[in-house]
């Protein structure tokens, strides 16, 4: 338990993962909360309205609680177990109660309000003004000015939402892990790459089914099946399994969804907001639901005609090759791949031998060395939370930058998808300056007995995306942790990640690492050109897919949900003008839409497209000057990556770019306009 409560004695303060015991989390949290209450009582008796005595000291007394919760939730996502799952609701309840006890305490708020009211007399820096503003608004936005009855209801809502989020997430993970399909007839897997067959065979053998092939709902398996399997019935079965996760039975998320949106709406109303979306967007670049809807509508108008032409091509191809008169959702990826081969001679599987994970990692190390002068050294003497995890010391010309953990392969204890996270945020905590400890967690194709981990182009892009988030955390140079790194507006946080994806399509970048894992032969100029073309291939449909998710999110959160009784009817209403293929009974987007029901993206999924405008405009600047231009990289580092949330993001962007972004940059990159 002491390992969770005390500062780490290890180099750079690295977390002693080998000393963390699941049974210690609850008692350690209880001790930390008890100590924090004692400190809080002393804090409440202070009379100073000075920034450091109010804001800084309040953050400090919550530090140990924040550290324990960070470790717990990171492990809960990346390496869970039955006991962690069991205590997660209680952990969530205790954290929510403590947070509400602080936020809703009238004496606590009175001190913060006094600091706020005297801010102009305190000679505060820009960063101090930002954190004071953020803290004050956070208290107000979480009920500090409510009457007692409303505060009581707020507590009930927050505790219920915390439990619902955990339940939603657990249902999705369990539903994913519950599905296994063993194949005994190899002919059913016709069309799938040899690398997939080898991995699938090894997975089956580990389950005691030697001579068979195991299919699961992990992304490295579901994506190849839908993309390459010639057997249409197999594609259909896998699509249905993937798209019906947590849709029915004991793991049904539909009741969770309806309760979540109802409670979020009620909470927003308590605070004086029309809807949950109005509440969320007050603290976003987009400002209002109307602005988001107009943004999505503008993209829809420009992308839909392209998507309609693209779906017509796929429909005609399915009819021509296989006599299929009605294209279905389990067909689109398959015929898209065939169409890509026809139109640009591009087969993504041809790229795998050039994208061994080790070389891709070495390549991105080189990219960030060229851009930001970063150096990486693997540390084998520090503990990690799973044997697959590697940890690196990151340095630059000025010394230590941070610790960087990488965790790449699927396992039953890890949720699906890919994400960046932080174990230790950069900034001053309790008077000590800390450098960040960040991690990227993915679910990539595993190595086999005969081959290293060979990535798809999409997986390489995912790695660059998450690495961009990691850079945002690692390169932070802020004073206060609550503003450092990725602690920025949600519709700005994707800029550092999405801009990194652009390098994957550039010859000067690919030449650094894309070499055949057997022969060492560099990737050809012809293949690089095809990669570039593939970046905007069927971009109309890709845009419409993202618009579907964003529009569904806004539909759930920008109106009174009292009329919402049927999840599927809500989905159908929200997406009726965005889908080109028939709905599939028994499937649902929402039931496994963890971003908005168990993550931080509610009323915020639009931010991926919003940030694409930023990253397309920003990368045009790099292209104008050279993708490794040191002056542009310095501007991006100093004004975006180092500054966290210390200024309004548009101010930071204009300091980097010299102007506001233009949506046409995105449309040009997508090939939607010239």
pTM: 0.90
Residues 466, 612, 620, 642: which is the catalytic one? 466
**8 Å CB contact between 494 and 285:** no
Q: Is the pLDDT of residue 11 over 90?
A: yes
DSSP-derived secondary structure for 588-622: -SGGG-HHHHTSS-TTTTTHHHHHHHHHHHHHHHH
Q: What is the pLDDT of residue 68?
A: 97
Q: What is the pLDDT of residue 663?
A: 84
Q: Is the pLDDT of residue 494 over 90?
A: yes
The backbone torsions φ and ψ at residue 422, rounded to the nearest 5 degrees and listed phi first, read: -125, 130
Strand partners for 489: none
519-562 pLDDT per residue, tens = 999 999 999 999 999 989 999 999 999 999 999 999 999 999 99
pLDDT bucket at 416, cuts 50 / 70 / 90: confident
**8 Å CB contact between 479 and 428:** yes
Task: Answer yes or no: 127 catalytic.
Answer: no
pLDDT bucket at 670, cuts 50 / 70 / 90: confident
Query: Over pLDDT 90: what percentage of the chain?
Result: 94
Q: What is the pLDDT of residue 224?
A: 95
Q: Is the pLDDT of residue 674 over 80?
A: no
Q: What is the pLDDT of residue 473?
A: 98
Q: Is the pLDDT of residue 431 over 90?
A: no
**How far is the C-alpha of 538 from the C-alpha of 337, rounded, in Å?**
10
Mean pLDDT for the stretch of residues 367-387: 98
**Mean pLDDT score of the chain:** 96
pLDDT bucket at 430, cuts 50 / 70 / 90: confident
Q: What is the pLDDT of residue 599?
A: 86
**Computed from CA positions of residues 426, 479, 467, 601, in that sequence, does the dihedral angle turn out positive or negative?**
positive
Q: What is the pLDDT of residue 662?
A: 85
**8 Å CB contact between 199 and 456:** no
The secondary structure of residue 445, as a DSSP letter, is P
Mean pLDDT for the stretch of residues 362-377: 98
pLDDT bucket at 490, cuts 50 / 70 / 90: confident
For 648, residues 6+ apart whose C-beta sits below 8 A from its C-beta are none
Q: What is the pLDDT of residue 227?
A: 97
Query: Over pLDDT 70: what percentage of the chain?
Result: 100
38-69 pLDDT per residue, tens = 999 999 999 999 999 999 999 999 999 999 99
Helix (H) or strand (E) holding 439: strand 437-441
pLDDT bucket at 99, cuts 50 / 70 / 90: very high
Q: Is the pLDDT of residue 503 over 80?
A: yes
**Burial annotation 174-207 (CB, 10 A radius, 16+ → b, else e):** ebbbebebebeeeebbebbbebbbebbbbbbeee
Q: Is the pLDDT of residue 479 over 80?
A: yes
Tokens, residue 109: 């708020």
**How far is the C-alpha of 97 from the C-alpha of 447, rounded, in Å?**
44
Cα torsion through 594, 600, 604, 609, rounded to 10: -70
110-164 pLDDT per residue, tens = 999 999 999 999 999 999 999 999 999 999 999 999 999 999 999 999 999 999 9
Tokens, residue 17: 């993962």
293-345 pLDDT per residue, tens = 999 999 999 999 999 999 999 999 999 999 999 999 999 999 999 999 999 99
Look at the block and give the residue holding tokens 């249902």: 171
CATH numbers and ranges of domains, the chain: 2-103+105-145 (1.20.1050.40), 179-230 (no CATH), 353-524 (1.10.1370.40)
Q: What is the pLDDT of residue 43?
A: 97
The backbone torsions φ and ψ at residue 427, rounded to the nearest 5 degrees and listed phi first, read: 135, 180
Q: Is the pLDDT of residue 673 over 90?
A: no
Q: What is the pLDDT of residue 672?
A: 82
Q: What is the pLDDT of residue 429?
A: 87
């Amino acid at each position: 338990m002491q390992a969770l409560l005390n500062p780490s004695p290890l180099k750079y303060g690295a977390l002693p993962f080998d000393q963390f015991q699941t049974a210690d989390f609850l008692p350690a949290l209880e001790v930390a909360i008890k100590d924090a209450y004692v400190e809080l009582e002393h804090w409440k008796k202070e009379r100073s309205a000075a920034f450091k005595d109010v804001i800084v000291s309040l953050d400090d007394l919550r530090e140990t609680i924040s550290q324990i919760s960070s470790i717990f939730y990171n492990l809960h996502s990346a390496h869970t177990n039955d006991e962690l799952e069991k205590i997660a609701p209680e952990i969530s309840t205790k954290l929510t109660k403590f947070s509400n006890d602080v936020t809703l305490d009238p004496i606590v708020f009175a001190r913060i309000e006094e600091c706020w009211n005297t801010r102009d007399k305190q000679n505060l820096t820009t960063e101090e003004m930002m954190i004071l503003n953020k803290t004050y608004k956070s208290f107000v936005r979480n009920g500090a000015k409510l009457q007692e009855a409303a505060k009581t209801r707020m507590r009930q809502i927050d505790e219920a939402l915390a439990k619902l989020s955990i339940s939603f997430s657990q249902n999705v993970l369990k539903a994913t892990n519950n599905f296994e399909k063993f194949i005994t007839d190899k002919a059913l897997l016709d069309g799938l790459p040899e690398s997939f067959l080898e991995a699938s065979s090894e997975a089956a053998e580990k389950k005691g089914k030697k001579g068979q092939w195991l299919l699961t709902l992990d992304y490295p398996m579901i994506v190849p099946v839908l993309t390459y399997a010639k057997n249409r019935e197999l594609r259909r079965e896998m699509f249905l399994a993937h798209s019906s996760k947590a849709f029915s039975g004991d793991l049904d998320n539909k009741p969770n969804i309806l309760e979540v949106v109802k409670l979020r709406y009620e909470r927003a109303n308590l605070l004086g907001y029309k809807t949950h979306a109005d509440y969320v967007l007050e603290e976003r670049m987009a400002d209002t639901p109307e602005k988001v809807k107009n943004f999505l509508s503008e993209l829809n108008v420009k992308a839909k005609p392209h998507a309609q032409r693209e779906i017509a091509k796929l429909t005609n191809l399915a009819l021509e090759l296989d006599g299929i008169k009605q294209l279905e959702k389990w067909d689109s990826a398959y015929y898209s791949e065939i169409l890509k081969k026809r139109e640009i001679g591009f087969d993504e599987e041809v790229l795998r031998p050039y994208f061994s994970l080790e070389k891709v990692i070495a390549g991105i190390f080189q990219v960030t060395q060229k851009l930001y002068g970063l150096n990486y050294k693997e540390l084998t003497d520090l503990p990690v939370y799973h044997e697959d995890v590697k940890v690196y010391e990151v340095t630059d010309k000025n010394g230590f930058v941070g610790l960087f953990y990488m965790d790449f392969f699927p396992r039953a204890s890890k949720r699906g998808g890919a994400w960046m996270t932080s174990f230790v945020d950069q900034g001053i905590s309790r008077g000590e300056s800390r450098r960040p400890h960040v991690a990227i967690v993915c679910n990539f194709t595993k190595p086999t007995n005969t081959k290293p981990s060979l990535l798809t182009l999409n997986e390489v892009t995912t790695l660059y995306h998450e690495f961009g988030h990691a850079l945002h955390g690692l390169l932070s140079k802020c004073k206060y942790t609550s503003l450092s790194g990725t602690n920025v507006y949600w519709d700005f946080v994707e800029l550092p990640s999405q801009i990194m994806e652009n390098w994957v399509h550039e010859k000067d970048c690919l030449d650094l690492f894309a070499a055949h894992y057997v022969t060492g032969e560099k990737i050809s100029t012809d293949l690089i050109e095809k990669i570039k073309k593939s970046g905007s291939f069927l971009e109309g449909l890709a845009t419409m897919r993202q618009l579907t998710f964003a529009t569904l999110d806004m539909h759930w959160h920008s109106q009174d949900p009292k009329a919402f009784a049927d999840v599927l009817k809500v989905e159908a209403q929200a997406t009726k003008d965005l889908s080109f293929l028939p709905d599939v009974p028994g499937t649902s987007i929402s039931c496994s839409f963890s971003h908005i029901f168990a993550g931080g993206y509610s009323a915020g999924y639009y931010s991926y497209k919003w940030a694409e405008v930023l990253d397309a405009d920003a990368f045009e600047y790099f292209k104008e000057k050279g993708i490794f231009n040191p002056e542009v990289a310095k501007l991006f580092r100093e004004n975006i990556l180092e500054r966290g949330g210390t200024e309004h993001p548009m101010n930071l962007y204009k300091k980097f770019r010299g102007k506001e972004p233009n949506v046409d940059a995105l449309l040009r990159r997508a090939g939607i306009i010239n």
